[in-house]
Amino acid sequence: MLRRHSLLPLILVLVFAAPVTAEAQQRAETKAPQFADYPVPVIGKVRARTPVFPRGLSEEERLRLTDAWSAEDPVNAAGRYVLVTYGCGSTCVSAGFIDAVTGAVNPLPFSVSGWREVPEDFIPIETRADSRLVIINGARNETGVVGRHYYLLDRGKLRHLRTVDTKGDFLRKAD
């Protein structure tokens, strides 16, 4: 037979452990996506094809992407794409993903800006050759949340995963 006071330590453990467990679970659910979470094989050495622009792209955007692109650029996104960026103002970046195999150009559907506090090695658009994850750092089209926007690049199209508001402060690394 258990004595009444022998249950007290067990009750205390359960009462204090539950919030810690819930907090740990919430932290895991809100963990920022990582490049390693979305692996993709990288195509072998391929000489990038001449860019093939989509209909409706302005002449200015075509020229900027062409000027920023080089056939020698290595694949740097989602296994087969070359991220090409160009400035669109003093603190603004526009970009496009060029398929190294087909040459198809997929322009970023927004510009990126709005940085306030940034480290010396700040990169507005982060990609890795062996990952489908794309991280956009800043505000999209100069509106909305100034933070880290996580996307998946799939067949040249971006699919939004989540956004973390940094209020323009990019000195701290993502969790």
pLDDT tens column, 87-100: 887 789 999 999 99
| The pLDDT value given to residue 21 | 46
Does any domain span residue 17? no
Residue 5 region by backbone torsions, left for phi larger than 0, else alpha for psi between -120 and 50, else beta:
alpha
How many other CB atoms are found less than 10 A from the CB of residue 86?
17
User: What are the φ and ψ backbone dihedral angles of 15, each rounded to 5 degrees?
Assistant: -65, -45
Rounded to a whole number, what is the distance in angstroms from the first to the last CA of the chain?
A: 49
In a domain, 115, yes or no: yes
Residue ranges of the chain whose pLDDT lies below 50: 8-28
Is 20 a member of any domain?
Answer: no
Task: Tell me, yes or no, whether 22 lies in a domain.
Answer: no
**Mean of pLDDT over the chain:** 84
Q: 47 in a domain, yes or no?
A: yes
d(CA 118, CA 5): 56
pLDDT at 78: 97
Range of the domain at 90: 33-165
Any idea what the Cα angle at residue 53 is, between residues 100 and 75, rounded to 5°? Answer: 20
pLDDT for the residue numbered 24: 41
Domain annotation covers residue 170:
no
In a domain, 24, yes or no: no
Give the span between the Cα atoms of 150 and 140, in whole angstroms: 12
Taking the C-alpha atoms of residue 99 and residue 79, their distance in angstroms, rounded to an integer, is 10
Domain count, the chain: 1
Rg (CA), the chain: 22
Residue with tokens 């991280």: 135
What is the helix (H) or strand (E) element at residue 66, kind and residue range?
Answer: helix 59-68
